[in-house]
Structure 1
């Protein structure tokens, strides 16, 4: 076939078909050239976006590793110095407690310093001696406390004690401290006091670096909206992970990779265990990149996970380029088909093949645009990015405090608030029903005189009851169970290929005062939006026809033209209101079955009617009735009109929604079929209609229908 096509193109054109083929060839080549340019532009923008995100994360990781390595090296040096001083006798046993407390106070990155002696290693009168100085963090700051560990724990048989005593200086695996009930990392060094009767070794001296310290270090380096860090040992055991249960259970990165059948993660884990540095890509449902780097002081490795959906937070530009690429490729292939299958009048089978091939390509092009549109992500204006780290939250709150001071207003009062949704449902086009829990943490000093409670300003039906109350060291925690139907505005212009965002807009009960609700980030295992924090597990969360993409907290700035009758200072202009948002996308299979299928069926039935429209050559030939075509077309129109009216009553939205444009295309096609039937029934002598007994309308039906649908799709989506 290729030789025949080339021969035909090499021959000078003599007929209209030859000129048509030449024109289609030129346009096809131009389309493919445009597609190539668009593809290059797309990949350059995509690659640039990825590289910018990875380079930024790499720079932050370098800073984090540099600081972490310096802190760990300093801790090692400090502990080794203590051990050397004990072994040399420059630090006597009687002075060791004062030295431990002094060391702890002088090093804010240490969570504990301690020394543990072998039996009678401290003195002949005292069998066991294990003074442990802890830095305890409270709401009011920090305090230091001394514990005699030997009084409530037999440390002699504990692994954290025996291993460094017998094997030498080392970092122990993470374990839960029975004193502060926190996961800690510990560096221990054995020592031998200069006494002939003292055991050799005489004990160990150690310092702790707890996970809270590690967490604060990573939070000080903002690693992106959804990126999160992990730390593993050279054996692969997790030292730090946002899901603390993995660390508590002493899980390894290899275990997790094998449990989730993630070969990419396993390969990255083995490279990290080998002390290598680099960037690994993970495919799958939540595609991501992991940037990893070793910590020289300990041979541990730090990795930062960046999700693809986070990097491409606003995909409008990239999606538009992909849509343009799809259109150019579709048009290029359609034109190439005309070149490969020239429409000669006497080749009827070839004409049908050309028609069906063109229709198939147009259908694939339309499907590609639908798939691209349903995955598109747009940035909401006048909002903050999702709040996923304590650093980003505190930076925002600091700016708000500064703005209030500049405007002569009182400093805002921050009130930690959490949300956990157990069910969601779209009651109708504008009513969103939710149930779940909301809790708030009150500090007796900060929130003195502040009422207890919250308001959901968009609720048209609401009920709540106090579910629990817990006393805190300096205040109280109150949780409410609630049910609410929220009246919200949703954009249905691209229905049924729209993505929606349901939200919980929360005010404090004193909503015109200076109280800013802050997300209680510490109450969640992982704040990565893709991990769906604040939502019931997907096994129990049912939202028919929708897929839950992500959930997160953010602020939106709202203003009001009333002070609600409050006297004195009110905060009703550009005030940051806390939103808990859930991103939803329509399930494509549900969309096709419930909405697109009826369009396909009506289109197919209408083609069946069109196929029967022909000139009657003799009385014995099965013909058609123009009135029958009109009746059938009227029935199709009636079905579409009823469906459109029903759709309008359900959505109750202004303007024209996308699926209505598909109905309009079908209305046009119905009119075309009816007009063709009337012309044939009248016995029109039009050459185009009489050619092969009205075959041209049949050949052009599907290409025309799909071409019009692509045009209206581009009009709405681009």
Structure 2
């Protein structure tokens, strides 16, 4: 039982792949199997512990899913791999057992990746709201009181302002068009020069069409405008196509130098909650699904006086009101399209491995040569680069997006194929590559490719 050399070949009758296989014997298969049983026990315990912690912890504020899913999922994947190895026993090095283990490992990584997609997509994160959110008149007065203090608050004239959004469309990676209605409700002490609202971050935010003016029985007046704004905002596409964005509309009064402040007109809505209030229920937002709206205040610091008085310092700080629209990308289309394209390229690379051989009887049939293999690897590399470039054109961001990590995994695999071809074309003797005429790279291909993608998925979305 001490002859470890027998287990290295994986063949009972020698290196000829045409002879019947017999399970590998020797000390190393037994050691690997024992080590796997230990790993199986440890991962089972770790999975139970992390699962208990996951399901007993509260959901963090601003999320609808628990965010500590990574430890339990990684432990579960390792447990599944160990369980598959215990059942299939690839340590015996028969082709059937090794192929089944390769398929099982690939399946585990696929299921783990899809699980992450579902968890991330179902987490309706509202932490993208700009500044401090308010949900009632009491919240508004409390937040403004923290900014201004009671003395200034007592002299402020509050102008209730509301919005109704009918459409939102991304016209570029950092540009979005929003259209809808905005209204304001004025008391008699609001002068005519203050009766309007602007969107300072939109080039056309100062030109809107007034569509109605209503005098109320209580002496107040309501004015409404229709707007069609083009907003340039900084969006992050690091998690494309599972990204969620916040479209915000920043608002000012037209009388910026008067003691006036616009506030949400909560009386015109049902009791506010993080839902789709203020949105047309049939809103058109191509490729995106709105899932929350919110009013908020964000403090801004100004190092000038707009010319109305000499600057004497310090910088002036004042809060501005925002209307936030949280949108989640409809990821099925982009995900399916790009993955099908990438998987097609990966399948071609996989089929190429069946051509790489040192068997002189098969070589004339396949026409294998080192130069042919290198040329093929370079061609595939160019295809993957073009595929990645298309993704970067879509997101228009300088940082890496999630979908690009599949291309990175393909780069790693292509380099492995390249190295494999070089070694096969030389006189270098590597028993692992010579086993059953270069079967090992074929067995490792899909587990390595999908496993890397699973690892990148955990890294990207666990943050």
- Give the structure-2-normalised TM-score: 0.85
How far apart, in 1, do the equivalents of 2:130 and 2:230 lie?
A: 25
Over 3 Å counting, the alpha-carbon distance change for 1:440 and 1:395 in structure 2 is: same
Over 3 Å counting, the alpha-carbon distance change for 1:514 and 1:640 in structure 2 is: farther
> Is 2:236 the counterpart of 1:499?
no
Instruction: Report what 2:341 is aligned to.
Output: 598
- Root-mean-square deviation (CA, aligned residues, Å) is 2.7
Instruction: Report what 1:624 is aligned to.
Output: 368
Over 3 Å counting, the alpha-carbon distance change for 1:330 and 1:346 in structure 2 is: closer
How far apart, in 2, do the equivalents of 1:568 and 1:513 lie?
A: 17
Equivalent in 266, 280, 287 of residue 521 of structure 1: 266
> Is 2:338 the counterpart of 1:588?
no
Whether the 8 Å contact between 1:512 and 1:563 is mirrored in structure 2 is no
Equivalent in 91, 94, 118 of residue 371 of structure 1: 118
Whether the 8 Å contact between 1:556 and 1:576 is mirrored in structure 2 is yes
Unmatched 5+ residue regions in structure 2? Answer: 1-24
Output one character per residue of 1:242-289: Cα deviation in whole Å (capped at 9) or x when no partner: xxxxxxxxxxxxxxxxxxxxxxxxxxxxxxxxxxxxxxxxxxxxxxxx
Give, in angstroms, the shift of residue 379 of structure 1.
Answer: 2.4
Instruction: Report what 1:277 is aligned to.
Output: none
- Name the structure, 1 or 2, with higher relative contact order (CA <8 Å, separation 6+): 2
How far apart, in 2, do the equivalents of 1:600 and 1:353 lie?
A: 20
Output one character per residue of 1:575-605: Cα deviation in whole Å (capped at 9) or x when no partner: 2211111111122312322333322222222
Give, in angstroms, the shift of residue 666 of structure 1.
Answer: 0.9
Equivalent in 390, 401, 418 of residue 137 of structure 2: 390
Whether the 8 Å contact between 2:106 and 2:447 is mirrored in structure 1 is yes
How far apart, in 1, do the equivalents of 2:409 and 2:450 lie?
A: 9
Q: Describe how 1:486-565 pairs up with structure 2 within 5 A.
A: 486-525=231-270, 527-530=272-275, 532-538=276-282, 541-565=283-307
> Is 2:78 the counterpart of 1:331?
yes
How many residues of Structure 1 are paired with residues of Structure 2 in the alignment?
A: 433
Deviates more, 1:27-36 or 1:342-351: 342-351
Equivalent in 62, 65, 89 of residue 313 of structure 1: 62
Whether the 8 Å contact between 2:184 and 2:223 is mirrored in structure 1 is yes
How far apart, in 2, do the equivalents of 1:590 and 1:558 lie?
A: 39
Output one character per residue of 1:418-451: Cα deviation in whole Å (capped at 9) or x when no partner: 1111111011111010111111111112x13642
Deviates more, 1:541-550 or 1:629-638: 629-638
Over 3 Å counting, the alpha-carbon distance change for 1:346 and 1:390 in structure 2 is: closer
Q: Describe how 1:353-364 pairs up with structure 2 within 5 A.
A: 353-364=100-111
Unmatched 5+ residue regions in structure 1? Answer: 1-12, 50-310
Give, in angstroms, the shift of residue 574 of structure 1.
Answer: 4.0
Give, in angstroms, the shift of residue 312 of structure 1.
Answer: 5.1
SS at match of 2:132: coil
- Give the structure-1-normalised TM-score: 0.56
Larger Rg over CA atoms: 1
Give, in angstroms, the shift of residue 563 of structure 1.
Answer: 2.3
Q: Describe how 1:365-514 pairs up with structure 2 within 5 A.
A: 365-376=112-123, 377=125, 379-380=127-128, 383-385=131-133, 387-400=134-147, 403=149, 405=151, 411-445=155-189, 447-448=190-191, 450-462=193-205, 463-472=207-216, 473-514=218-259
Output one character per residue of 1:182-203: Cα deviation in whole Å (capped at 9) or x when no partner: xxxxxxxxxxxxxxxxxxxxxx
SS at match of 1:536: strand
